[in-house]
Amino acid sequence: MKFFIDNWFLFLAAAVSGGLLLWPLINKGAGGSSKLSTNDAVQLINRERAVLIDVSEPAEYAAGHAAGAKSVPLGKLEASTDLPKNKALPLVVVCPTGARASRAVATLNKLGFANARALAGGFNAWRDANLPVEKTA
């Protein structure tokens, strides 16, 4: 017992480092894995036919969006008929910064889309990665 008392700081350090090692697994179970890098998003689109869903407002979407993305504003997501009928298809959700996309993923999960993931950094990251961009007139 004296060993534990004399070396309490070592046990604390071991517990903290173990917690930090387990954090990604715990966070993943809580929905932390819903963010995709641009490279992962492109691979998902190419390999698994993922659908790009842009939850930006119509004016933001018209100013510029990822090529091939469907416009489904966040406020109209639950009532939208533009979402794929096949709920097993992977969805890559995009907005200008990624903040709204994370909320949209939670909504999509409630609607039964288990493979919805937000693009980390949003449309800004997409554009910065020099991926195809479209504008609507």
Residues acting as catalytic residues: 95
Tokens of 65: 């969006």
Distance CA 76, CA 54 (A): 12
Tokens of 31: 């929905």
Q: Would you say how long the chain is, in residues?
A: 137
Burial class of residue 70 in the structure, from the number of CB atoms within 10 Å of its CB (0-12 exposed, 13-18 middle, 19+ buried): middle
Q: Are 123 and 94 in contact (CB under 8 A)?
A: yes
Q: Are 91 and 98 in contact (CB under 8 A)?
A: no
